[in-house]
Amino acid sequence: MHQMREHYLTKQLRLAQEETNQLRQHLQDKKPTPSLLENPRPSPYPIPTSPYQEEQHILRHTRAQLGLIEFLEGEADIRAALSRFKQLLLSTC
């Protein structure tokens, strides 16, 4: 049982790392377009304007993913656990 959980968490970590790398590549490739500048979408986070801020944004995203994985670890009812996690996040905003 412990080995299965470890395998699952390792797989989730690998997926999170791959998603982080994809996000990093997307941020590097992204160039502002006039339509984005004219109609910006509101964001709860400031838009990264420097490589340091982009790296911090990516690290924040990765920590959130790992936090969710740890929160869900061992939960039988994933839907209820996600709801509790969402409430926890909303209470910190």
Q: Name the residue range of residue 36's domain.
A: 2-92
Q: Among residues 15, 35, 33, which one has the least CA distance to residue 23?
A: 15
- Per residue in 55-92, pLDDT (tens digit) is 888 888 888 888 888 878 888 888 888 888 788 777 76
The number of folded domains in the chain is 1
> Can you spell out the DSSP letters for 13-48?
HHHHHHHHHHHHHHHHH----HHHHHSPPP-SSPPP
Q: What is the pLDDT of residues 20-64, one digit of tens each?
A: 877 777 777 766 555 545 555 566 656 677 888 888 888 888 888
Separation between Cα atoms, residue 91 and residue 93, nearest integer Å: 6
pTM (two decimals): 0.39
